[in-house]
Chains A and B, each alone.
Chain A
Amino acid sequence: MTPSRTAFAAILAKDLRSELRTLQSLPAMALFSVTTFVIFRFGLDRTSLSGSLAAGVLWATLLFAGVLGINRLFVAEREEGGFDAIRLAPIDRSVLFAAKVAALLIYLAALELVAVPIFAVFFLDGGAGLGPLVAVLLLTDLGLAATGTLISSMAVNSRARDLLVPLVLLPLVVPLMIAATGATEPLLSLGGPSYHRFGTWLMVLGLYDLIFSLVGYAVFDFLLED
């Protein structure tokens, strides 16, 4: 049996390498988010944003851009027979879940590396709140990666692939978005960042991450059986 760490590193490296070579998801996600910012600028008719409006625009955009990547996460496995290969390989199947969560986490972080600075340039007065925002981004990404991987792996084996991810994932991440916007809102408020209930929201995010990582890890075996 191949040790889990080796298998994890191999699958993750495979995913990142194929993304770097084909550039299937990341450019689309970044482009989508920038265009969505422009649409929000005219939809809301605002040239600068702060507080709850800023948090809402940022998270709605990141979530929908994330869904694009989540939709494509398992497409290569499905089309090129990667699922069969994983089933045949002498590895623990939960490793695939962990590696895909890690890959998605890296995609989301890369997306935010592009989208958040552009958001700040477009709409924010100063970058003072962006430092502590990193913690919120990371914790939310982890929750989104865990649920996204779980839903994506099921959706890719169904008839209505691209439809199923947004349909099932959006209600599932509502608590995550409540906590993320709750933590982001005071950070982007007009009179400089404040930390109203910041720690509490981070704890809710952490709890969500923990629960859905464990659920995903526990049930992922059953999704690969055939």
Chain B
Amino acid sequence: MYGKGLKPLSIATVAMIAVSLSLVFFYAPLDADQGFIQKIFYLHVPLAMTALVGFIIGGLFAIAHLRTDNRKWDAYSYVAIHISVIFGVAVLITGAIWAKASWGHWWVWDEPTLVSFLIVFLMYATYYPFRYAIEDRDRQARYASVFAITAGAFVPLNFLAVRMAQSLVHPRVFATSNGGLPGEMMLTFLCCLAAMALLWVTLVKFELTAKSASGQVKRLRRALDAPAPGGSSRIAPEVS
């Protein structure tokens, strides 16, 4: 039942990514300062924004889980955080490449957004060992939701603290009212953001579909009295 609409969604995502990439390479002007390498910005920043929003959405799903006590929301929360962590790895890698190309170092400590993102990523990376350490499934779901809510509140607070720890002279790309980007770059950027958001939604839906399908298979096997091959995952929640 989760698979409904997955196909058109995937096609839309592929189309949007194709459009965005052609805009990035053929439409957006070259950056006067950094040249070609600046184009990684169109991948790096949308990925980061999508991952951060994904973490917050995972927290909102967790609130829904605690309020309704419906295990479905725990699965949603888990998948949202899972996909966002994967996006987070991509953000850190693209960020390091960009930093190496434009500043000459793989890692720069005085870029507050990069540092904040690393801390948020480390926080969410502990979600898996945390979940894994709790055996009882109901308790695991409840504790994971509490973790997701706490970490969701932590995200904005962390950005505030890291930003304040920097000297105030650091330039901000989006500080000015119109984003500080020329129109063509802005359009390309927004297209890329939409493409990454669509990719996130598709991957979340895909993983939920896969979980639901394997849950159904397991139930059918149980009905037939056949043992499941390999056993089930101990971390991931099941979707009914």
Which residues from chain A sit less than 8 Å from chain B, CB to CB? 147, 150, 154-155, 157-160, 163-164, 167-168, 171-172, 174-176, 178-179, 182, 200-201, 204, 207-208, 211-212, 215, 219, 222-223, 225-226
Q: Among the interface residues B142, B145, B154, which one has the most CB atoms of the partner chain A within 10 A?
A: B154
19 contacts between A and B (CB under 8 A): A150-B146, A158-B133, A159-B134, A159-B135, A163-B129, A164-B129, A164-B133, A168-B126, A171-B122, A171-B126, A174-B161, A175-B157, A178-B165, A182-B165, A204-B160, A208-B157, A215-B149, A222-B142, A222-B146
Question: Could you say which residues of chain B place their CB within 8 Å of the CB of A222?
Answer: 66, 142, 145-146
Complex interface residues of chain B between 5 and 39 (CB less than 8 A to chain A): none
Any A CB within 8 A of the CB of B143: yes
CA of A175 to CA of B222 in the docked complex: distance in angstroms? 48
Contact A200 B146 (CB under 8 A): no
**Is the C-beta of B150 less than 8 angstroms from some C-beta in chain A?**
yes
List B contacts of A208 (CB < 8 A). 157, 161
Smallest CB separation, A60 vs chain B (Å): 16
Measured CB to CB, the closest approach of chain A to B183, in angstroms, equals 36
Task: Tell me the interface secondary structure of chain A in the complex.
Answer: helix
Q: Which bucket holds chain B's interface residue count?
A: 20 to 34
A134 to B133: give the CA distance in the assembly, Å. 37
Question: Cβ of A174 and Cβ of B130 under 8 Å apart?
Answer: no
Closest to B127 in A: A168
Any chain A CB within 8 A of the CB of B73?
no
Q: Specify the main secondary structure of chain B where it touches its partner.
A: helix
What 1/0 flags go to B119-147 for Cβ under 8 Å of A? 10011001001100111000100110111
The answer to whether A157 touches B165, judged by C-beta atoms less than 8 angstroms apart, is: no
User: Which of B129, B146, B153 interacts with A223 by CB under 8 Å?
Assistant: B146
In the complex, the answer to whether A175 meets B154 with C-beta atoms within 8 Å is yes
Bound Cα distance from A171 to B157, whole angstroms:
12
A211–B133 CB distance below 8 A: no
Q: Determine the residue in chain A with the shortest Cβ distance to B65.
A: A222
What's the nearest-Cβ distance from chain A to residue B46, in Å?
24
| Complex interface: chain B residues within 8 A of A171 (CB) | 119, 122-123, 126
The list of the 7 closest CB pairs from A to B, nearest first, reads A175-B161, A158-B133, A171-B123, A160-B133, A178-B161, A171-B122, A219-B146
Partner of B161 from the list A204, A212, A223 (CB cut-off 8 Å) is A204
14 extra interface residue pairs, beta carbon distance < 8 Å, beyond A211-B153, A215-B153:
A154-B146, A158-B135, A164-B129, A167-B126, A171-B123, A172-B123, A176-B161, A178-B161, A201-B164, A211-B157, A219-B146, A223-B142, A223-B146, A225-B142
- B82-136: which residues lie under 8 A (CB-CB) from chain A? 119, 122-123, 126, 129-130, 133-135
B236 within 8 A of A: no
Interface flag for B158 (CB, 8 Å): yes
B162 at the interface (CB under 8 A from A): yes
Q: How far is the CA of A178 from the CA of B160 in the complex (A)?
A: 10
